[in-house]
């Protein structure tokens, strides 16, 4: 990876997902990507409903976007990108990336993916078009694949692993804690916990 000083085009990360809810793992990975790839901004884009997800989100689209916005207000590098929520339908990432590229026409947009999603990337609609037009940053969900060459399957694509970074939390784990009434304060930013509390999303839960 070249030194940041050699980058001539502003770089932006696109980080999509259900964010059900957004948590410390999302934040730490996004901040590390900013550092390692000299990203000017990260577009945090909550999905109205993810195409390959079977389970309905625990939190409504309105709440998920509001929690993303609360986190974005704490980090100047983050932008709450609401186009998929406002569309109120399932959106394909390629189309969202295209619309973002029109808005940020002078920037290079990097798609950020966990290795779990990358492992089934060939199931995505328009995945070849994504690879042809947008570089990828792949982050490690479980700490076991730091040395994997993610470009082996798609040798002509621009695929960059996020070095020495594991994803310390999962939304699934946090939803389980919420349903069980156990503590989540170490898993989510304080702004997210405050939002959940203020909107009674954790009624009768041990925070």
Comparing 49 with 73, the larger pLDDT belongs to 73
Asked whether residue 207 carries a pLDDT value surpassing 70, the answer given is no
Determine the Cα–Cα distance for residues 13 and 112; give it in Å rounded to an integer.
Answer: 7
- Return d(Cα 197, Cα 182) in angstroms, integer: 14
CATH code of 84's domain:
3.40.50.620
Confirm whether 97 is domain-assigned. Answer: yes
Closest to 194 in 3D by CA, of 44, 35, 69, 57: 69
Q: Tell whether 188 is covered by a domain.
A: no
Asked if 64 and 46 count as a contact pair (C-beta separation under 8 A), the reply is yes
**Which of the pair, 193 or 170, is modelled with greater confidence?**
193
Residue 75 to residue 59: CA distance in whole angstroms: 23
Binned at pLDDT 50, 70 and 90, residue 166 comes out as low
Asked if residue 177 belongs to a domain, the reply is: no
Domain count, the chain: 1
Compute the average pLDDT of residues 189-196: 96
Residue 79, beta-bridge partner list: 43
**pLDDT over 90 at 169, yes or no:** no
| Assigned token pair, 206 | 């041990």
Q: Phi/psi class of residue 42: alpha, beta or left (left: φ > 0; alpha: ψ in -120 to 50)?
A: beta
Residue 60 binned pLDDT confidence (cut-offs 50, 70, 90): very high
Short-list 74, 71, 6, 4, CA closest to 33: 4
Helix-then-strand count for the chain, H and E: 8, 6
Asked whether residue 146 carries a pLDDT value surpassing 70, the answer given is: no
Query: For the residues of 9-41, what is the DSSP string, one character each?
Result: S-EEEEEEE--TT--HHHHHHHHHHHHHHT-SE
Residue 28 domain-assigned? yes
Q: Per-residue confidence at 106, pLDDT binned at 50, 70, 90?
A: very high
Which domain covers residue 156, as residue numbers? 11-168
Q: 45 lies in a domain?
A: yes
The number of angstroms, rounded, from the C-alpha of 82 to the middle of its chain's C-alpha atoms is 13
Higher confidence at residue 118 or residue 163?
118
What is the residue-averaged pLDDT of the chain?
87
Confidence of residue 4 (pLDDT cuts 50, 70, 90): very low
Q: Which two tokens stand for residue 90?
A: 């399932």
The mean per-residue pLDDT over the stretch 111-126 comes to: 92
156 domain-assigned = yes
Q: Is residue 116 part of a domain?
A: yes
Domain contains 126: yes
Half-sphere CA count of 63, side-chain side, radius 13 A: 17
């Amino acid at each position: 990876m070249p030194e940041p000083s050699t980058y001539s085009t502003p770089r932006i990360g696109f980080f999509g997902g259900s964010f059900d809810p957004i948590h410390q793992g999302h934040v730490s990975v996004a901040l590390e990507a900013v550092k390692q790839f000299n990203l000017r901004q990260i577009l945090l884009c909550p999905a109205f409903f993810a195409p390959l997800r079977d389970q309905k989100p625990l939190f409504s689209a309105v709440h998920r976007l509001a929690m993303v916005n609360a986190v974005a207000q704490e980090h100047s590098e983050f932008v709450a990108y609401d186009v998929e929520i406002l569309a109120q339908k399932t959106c394909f990432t390629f189309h969202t990336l295209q619309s973002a590229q029109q808005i940020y026409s002078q920037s290079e947009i990097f798609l950020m993916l966990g290795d779990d999603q990358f492992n089934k990337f060939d199931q995505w609609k328009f995945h070849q078009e994504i690879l042809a037009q947008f570089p990828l940053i792949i982050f490690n969900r479980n700490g076991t694949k730091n040395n994997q060459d993610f470009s082996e399957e798609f040798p002509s694509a621009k695929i960059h692993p996020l070095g020495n970074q594991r994803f310390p939390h999962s939304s699934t784990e946090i939803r389980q804690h919420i349903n069980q009434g156990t503590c989540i304060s170490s898993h989510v930013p304080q702004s997210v916990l405050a939002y959940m509390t203020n909107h009674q999303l954790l009624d009768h839960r041990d925070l």
